[in-house]
Amino acid sequence: MSSHDTFLPRRTAQPSAVPPPPKLPPSLAGDPSLPYPAIGTELAELRLQIPGVQGSVLGGVDGLRITHDVPARLDPDDLAAMAAATFGLGRQVSLRLGQGDFCQSTVRNQAGYFAVYAVGSQALLSVVGSDAINVARLHMYAPPVADRLAKLLSGG
């Protein structure tokens, strides 16, 4: 098994520790076969508007996936967990430097990018992009998407 074949361990919630699911605001309710249709639309638009975006995941700061728009070759649960780890490091850096709340972080790899954006205080938008992605365009387009997602999650 190569290092590319390994997966992050899964964390599962304990049944007694799981709060009841929140009621969805009317703006997120709709087709039951497509959870959070307005959020799904935002994620799909991100992929369509920025060439090189391979997919995105909306997850909680706890690393659990809310919803995603990624191809089958990417594991949305792994991406949500990695986004939470990135957020944890970014939050520690921002606290240590006294620079305010975490906003975003980008990791450049040999063949692409992984960017994480704060979505309010409880969620994260992670974006996977190819090496050909225009990172400046992503950084201009993604923060307003994160703001709209935060409003959708809060019912606004």
For residue 145, which phi and psi values (nearest 5 degrees)? -60, -45
Would you state the pLDDT for residue 1?
47
- Structural domain boundaries enclosing 85: 56-156
Q: Is 148 within the bounds of a domain?
A: yes
Q: Is 30 within the bounds of a domain?
A: no
Q: Is 32 within the bounds of a domain?
A: no
> What residue type is 124 in one-letter code?
L
Cα–Cα distances in Å, from 113 out to 41, 52, 58, 123, 133?
22, 10, 17, 20, 8
CATH number assigned to the domain comprising residue 121: 3.30.450.30
Sheet holding 112-119, edge to edge: 65-69, 53-60, 123-130, 112-119, 104-109
Task: Kindly give the parts of the chain with pLDDT less than 50.
Answer: 1-3, 16-35
Q: Is 97 within the bounds of a domain?
A: yes
For residue 106, which phi and psi values (nearest 5 degrees)? -130, 135
Q: Is 81 within the bounds of a domain?
A: yes
How many folded domains does the chain comprise?
Answer: 1
Would you state the pLDDT for residue 20?
43
Would you state the pLDDT for residue 154?
84
The C-alpha angle 116, 36, 104, rounded to 5 degrees, equals 10
